[in-house]
Amino acid sequence: MLRFLMLFCLLFWYSAKSQDFLLICSETSSSYDKTLNKNFSKIVNFKEKSIYNFSGSFFDRVILFGENEIIVDNKIFDTRSTFNISTNKWTTYRGQFIKFYNCTREKRRF
């Protein structure tokens, strides 16, 4: 009975683990454009190549979800952003302004 319970717990643990990461980004240097957020969060699933807005800056669509980079576009606020997967750097372009963010990844359980 104890072996069955331990096996069930292990199977449940691995099936409950999510492939999602919570990407938490904060600005590295202040920008003259005060309309851009200082901090934001996204939910990224690298296996399914999907990204969801959690808090902060919004985007309309993902243009490219490549091996090394993610490019998103927002037509409403006229911004384009890139995320370098290997260095965890997020860059937002808006008109003549560029804003740099450092990001950390946190593994989500569910």
Token output for 55: 């808090």
Percentages helix, strand, coil for the chain (3-state, rounded to 5) are 15, 50, 35
What's the mean pLDDT when you consider all of the chain? 80
Q: Among 14, 34, 37, which Cα is nearest to 25's?
A: 37
Identify the pLDDT of residue 49. Answer: 86
- pLDDT tens by residue, 25-73: 999 977 777 777 888 888 888 888 888 887 776 677 889 998 899 999 9
Provide, rounded to the nearest whole percent, the portion of the chain with pLDDT above 90: 27
**Alpha-carbon distance 16 to 30, whole Å?**
39
Instruction: Compute the distance between CA of residue 46 and CA of residue 56 in angstroms, rounded to an integer.
Output: 20
Of residues 110 and 102, the one with the higher pLDDT is: 102
State the average pLDDT over residues 75-82: 88
pLDDT at position 57, please? 67
Tell me what pLDDT residue 74 has.
87
Helix (H, G, I), strand (E, B) or coil at 16: helix
Please determine, for residue 101, whether its predicted confidence score (pLDDT) is greater than 90. yes
Which neighbouring-strand residues pair with 84? 69, 89
Share of the chain above pLDDT 70, in %: 78
- At a CB cut-off of 8 Å and minimum separation 6, what does 62 contact? 50, 51, 70, 71, 72
